[in-house]
Amino acid sequence: MKELAKTYDPKGLEDRLYKKWEENGYFHAEVDRSKKPFTIVMPPPNITGQLHMGHALDNTMQDILIRYKRMQGYSALWQPGTDHAAIATEVKVIEHLKKQGIEKDSLGREGFLEKCWDWKDEYGTRIINQLKKMGSSADWERERFTMDEGCSKAVEEVFVKLFNEGYIYKGNRIINWCPVCQTSISDAEVEHEEQAGHFWHMKYEIVGEPGRFVTFATTRPETMLGDTAVAVNPKDERYQDIIGKTVMLPFVNREIPVVADEYVDMEFGTGVVKITPAHDPNDFEVGKRHNLPVINVLNDDATINSNGGEFEGMDRYEAREIIVKKMDEMGLLVKIEDHTHNVGTHDRCNTTVEPMVKPQWFVAMEELAKPAIEAIKTGELQFVPKNYDKTYLHWLENIRDWCISRQLWWGHRIPAYYCEKCGETVVARSADAPTVCPKCGHTHMKQDEDTLDTWFSSALWPFSTLGWPENTEELDYFYPTDVLVTGYDIIFFWVIRMVFSGYAHTGKSPFHTVLIHGLVRDSQGRKMSKSLGNGIDPLEIIDNYGADALRLTLITGNAPGNDMRFYNERVENSRNFANKVWNASRFIMMNLADNAVTEPTEADLATEDKWIISAVNTLAKDVTENMDKYELGIAVQKVYDFIWDQFCDWYIEIVKPRMYSQEYTASKNAALWTAKFALTNALKMLHPFMPFITEEIFCTLQSEEKTIMLSAWPEYDEAKNFPVEEAKVERAKDVVRGMRQLRTDMDVPPSKKAAIHIVAEDAEVRGIFDEITPIFATLAGATDVIVQADKLGIGSDAVSAVIPDATLFVPLEDLVDFEKEKERLTKEKEKLEKELARSRGMLSNEKFMSKAPEAKVAEEREKLAKYEQMMAQVEARLASMK
**Can you give the pLDDT at residue 400?**
87
Q: Which domain holds residue 311?
A: 183-355
Residue 112, domain member (yes or no)? no
Contact (CB, 8 A) for 443 and 432: no
Q: What is the pLDDT of residues 129-140, one digit of tens each?
A: 999 999 999 999
Which of 792, 816, 840 is where one domain is finished?
Answer: 816
Q: Identify the CATH number of the domain in which residue 321 sits.
A: 3.90.740.10
Last residue of a domain, one of 689, 721, 753: 721
- Are residues 780 and 849 part of one domain? no
For 303, which DSSP code? B
Confidence of residue 743 (pLDDT cuts 50, 70, 90): confident
Q: Are residues 700 and 676 in the same domain?
A: yes
Do 265 and 193 fall into the same domain?
yes
d(CA 231, CA 260): 6
Q: Which pLDDT band, with edges at 50, 70 and 90, does 396 fall under?
A: very high
Q: What is the CATH number of the domain that holds 667?
A: 1.10.730.10
336 domain-assigned: yes
Instruction: Indicate whether 631 and 660 sit together in one domain.
Output: yes
Same domain assignment for residues 558 and 686? yes
Average pLDDT over residues 211-218: 94
pLDDT digits (tens, 9 = 90+) for 595-638: 889 999 999 999 999 999 999 999 999 999 999 999 999 999 99
196 confidence band (pLDDT: 50, 70, 90): confident
pLDDT at 530: 67
**Strand ranges of the sheet holding 416-419, from the earlier edge strand across to the other edge:** 425-427, 416-419, 445-447
Shared domain for 256 and 340, answered yes or no, is yes
Q: Do 733 and 711 share a structural domain?
A: no
Cα 567 from Cα 541, distance rounded (Å): 11
Element containing residue 77 per DSSP (H, E): strand 75-79
In a domain, residue 585? The reply is yes
Read off the pLDDT of each residue in 86-115 and give the average, rounded to a whole number.
Answer: 93
Does residue 706 have a known ligand-binding role? Answer: no
676 and 797 share a domain?
A: no
Q: Tell me, yes or no, whether 788 and 864 share the same domain.
A: no
In a domain, 851, yes or no: yes
Confirm whether pTM is higher than 0.95: no
- pLDDT above 70 covers a percentage of the chain that reads 99
DSSP E strand boundaries for 658-776: 754-759
Does residue 639 share a domain with residue 562?
yes
Question: What contacts 241, CB < 8 A, 6 or more positions away?
Answer: none
The verdict on 346 and 429 lying in the same domain is no
Q: Assess if residue 9 is contained within a domain.
A: no
pLDDT above 90 (res 388): yes
Domain-located, residue 842? yes
Contact 514, 383 (CB under 8 A): yes
Q: Domain containing 759 — which CATH number?
A: 3.30.2320
Q: Which pLDDT does position 368 carry in this prediction?
A: 97
Question: Residue 308 above 80 pLDDT?
Answer: yes
pLDDT tens by residue, 372-384: 999 999 999 999 9
Report the domain count for the chain.
Answer: 5
Co-location of 248 and 304 in the same domain:
yes
Angle of helix 53-71 relative to helix 547-555, nearest 10 degrees, comes to 90
- Residue at a domain's end among 449, 467, 502: 449
Q: Is residue 143 part of a domain?
A: no
Query: Cα–Cα distance between 296 and 222 in angstroms, integer?
Result: 11
Does residue 799 form part of some domain? yes
